[in-house]
Every structure is written in structure tokens, then in C-alpha cells.
Amino acid sequence: MRVFASIHCVSCQIYAGQTLRQYSASAVSTTEVRHVQICRSHMPFITSGMLNMNIIKRSEPVRGFTIIELLVSLAIIGVLLALLLPAIQRSREAARCLQCRSNLKQLGLAIHNYESVHQHLPPNNGGTDGEEMSNQGNLSGIVMLLPFFDQSALWNSIATAPNQGGFPGMATFPHPPSNLSILLCPSSPVPAPFTDNGLGGPSRSYHLSLGDWCGVFPGISPVLGSPASGAFARGPFSPNAGETRRWRDITDGTSHTVLMSEKALVISPDEFLGNSSHDDDADSPRQCRAKFGANYGGRGNRLGNGRLWATGWNLSVYTVTTAMGPNSPSCKYFTNATSRHPGGVCVLLCDGAVRFISDSIDTGNSESPPPATQYVPSPYGVWGALGSAAGEESIGQF
């Protein structure tokens, strides 16, 4: 057993049997430290290591942050957040845009599979017709694609219902219990279900292309439920119920013809991205744009884009054309592709490729009226040429 010496230093008042750690943590003053230093002459067992043990002066206060240091730290944190948050938002939007492109890619595969089975493209709208309780030829071609993107059960419930479920915009139609994610762009907020006048159902963001104009040429009658002979409209799909095309009808090339694009879902009745006015007729893109100006509020009968997923009855809100450029206002016959993506829209080409088209793409002569026939070049620049199926335009890189 170790016996501590009880030597007492009279001058320092420190017992040799105690460690200096006690003094450093409690009651060692600067005067006592000097005494310890003196004490080394007659107590040599006190080492320099013992003398350097975190001896704290009781008279010196603990120092914290000053106001200036705190403000500088907060300013640095604020600058870092200002730099990081936009980058995080951009990365999230990039992920949403990638998912939107993936949705279009899957829909493109569904259309190609449909064409392989039926030997023609689906109609823009069709279904049962001629009966009061039928769907009156207003069933969207998107619905006819259901078996080709893993929704066979939903399609069977529609196909086996009396008159294919009736008018597809009614709440009584055999709708899915919730929105189908493949039909929604992740960047576009989904509105509340539309319930006016017995209408209802989920929403959709993607719509078939009618070309650079959605009008119908005279002398062409619809062929219900079967392929039509010859070309009848400017784009891959026709506004006439039941009319369809084959791939061979797209003579401009499948890699240079828009098959489908997106339309932003409605957020407010006073913004044009998510709305289309089918009461505002116009003879040219410039006339259409002049009707709205900077204020879209109060313009005609505005309908929310894609509010009724199963219907194709209203061309203004359930189709796209390529005349006025992406993210432009929509009139009755100029119904434009819009999105919540910054700077442009995603489009599906007939060959299955998905491209992002900038708002600044060439749109040609905005004062020109629509083309008079199916086989003339589009007057609406590169964007219009991408819409026409047989306009015989020459398109380079876009």
C-alpha cells in the first residue's frame, strides 16, 4: 500500500499527499500557482506535468460569441442556403421532367403495340355512337390504350359496361378509383376532381396531336371503328370521331412528327397554361394571341385542361396542335402544348422518341391562316412542320 507523505509546505499551504488536479478544478488561484512553483525547490517530486494541468484562473470569465460574430455566422449560413436551395429545386425538377418523359415513352410503346394488334392507330375519340345513353363517340383514344399499359382490368370494366359506360365525362362512368400516375406529369399539380353538372373523374396530362391545326377539311366523312382511306387531317390523329391513320400515312417521317404532348393541368381560371378557351375563335396564331394579351382572366368559356381523363369530346382541352409554340394561349382551333417545366414541353414523336421542345422553337409566320389542304408545308416554322404528318417539309436539327 502506497503511503502519501504528509509533508506540509508552510509557505504554499499545499499538502504533498494531494494531487494538483484537485486544485486546478476548484480553488487554485494565481497566487497559489506561484507558491507551487516556489515549492518545487523543497518538494522535488512535484513535476512540471503536474504544474501544467489545466489550472483555471477564477478571476477570468468564460468567453462566448459576440453579436458581430453571431451575425456573421448567420450571414454565411444564409448565403449557403441561397446557393443550395435553387440547386436542390433544379435537381427535383430534373427528376420530375425525367419521369414525365418516361410516362410519354410508355404511352408511345402502348400506341405502337395497339397499332401492331389493330393495324392502325387509335382514334383521337370514338367508341359507341348513335344512342342517347352511349358514349356518343367521345371516348378518348387514351382509354383505348389501357390494355397496353397494364390496365386491362380497367378496360374490361369499361368495355363490358352498358354502352361502354355511357358518356365518358360523367361521374357514373367506370372511372379508376384514383388518378393513373402514367397519365400525369409530376411537375403539374393535380386539381380537385371536376364535379359540375354530374361530371367527374380523374385528370390526365397527355393528349394526342392533331397537327398544326385541329380543323376538319371539307368532303371527308368519318369512318367509325375502321381505318380511313387516305389523309384527312394535318396530324397523326383526326378531330373526326372514329377516324384513324396507319404509320404509312405519316410520310414526313415518324422521327419528325409529333404523336403526343402534354398540357398543364389547371391551377387557376385566370392563367392560360392550364386553360383553353373554346369560345375564342381565331383565324391565325397572332389573332389568337391578341385576344388574350397579358391578362387571360375573363376570356370566354375557359375549361381546365385534362379535367376529364376519359373524354375526347372537346378539342380545345383534350388535344394539342403545333401552331403557336409551346406554352402559348389556346383558342378554339389553336390548342397548344403547355407544361409546368421551365422553358418548354415534353413531346412524344411517332418513332417513340421523347424530346424536350423549347419555348423558343421557330414558329414561322404567326399571321398566316391555317393550311388549306393536307399536303402543303406548314406556315408555322419548325414547330408546325413537326405537327404535320404529310406536309412534305424539310426539317433539320431541332
Helix (H, G, I), strand (E, B) or coil at 252: coil
C-alpha cell at 33: 500557482
pLDDT score at 106: 96
pLDDT score at 223: 37
User: Do the Cβ atoms of 36 and 15 come closer than 8 Å?
Assistant: no
Angle ∠(361,366,370) on CA atoms, nearest 5:
110
User: Do the Cβ atoms of 123 and 141 come closer than 8 Å?
Assistant: yes
What is the rounded average pLDDT of the residues 73-82? 88
Burial class of residue 378, CB neighbours in 10 A (0-12, 13-18, 19+) = buried
Lowest mean pLDDT among 3-12, 312-321, 371-380: 3-12
pLDDT score at 355: 96
pLDDT score at 142: 93
For 341-369, the pLDDT digits (tens) are 999 999 999 999 999 999 999 999 999 98
CA nearest to 194, candidates 74, 98, 274: 274
C-alpha cell at 305: 385542361
Distance in angstroms between the alpha carbons of the first and the last residue of the chain: 93
Amino acid at 172: T
C-alpha cell at 164: 361502354
Dihedral of the alpha carbons of 246, 317, 192, 182, in degrees to the nearest 10: 20
Amino acid at 16: A
C-beta atoms surrounding 236 within 10 Å: 26
Report residue 292's pLDDT band, with 50, 70 and 90 as the boundaries.
low
C-beta atoms surrounding 179 within 10 Å: 17
pLDDT score at 197: 79
- Which one is predicted more confidently, 270 or 114? 114
Amino acid at 364: G
Q: Examine the pLDDT at 170 and tell me if it is beyond 50.
A: yes
pTM of the model: 0.75
CA nearest to 170, candidates 197, 204, 209: 197
For 200-216, the pLDDT digits (tens) are 889 999 999 999 987 65
Helix (H, G, I), strand (E, B) or coil at 67: helix
Tell me the C-alpha to C-alpha distance, in Å, between residue 43 and each of 12, 14, 49, 302, 310: 11, 11, 14, 99, 99
pLDDT score at 307: 82
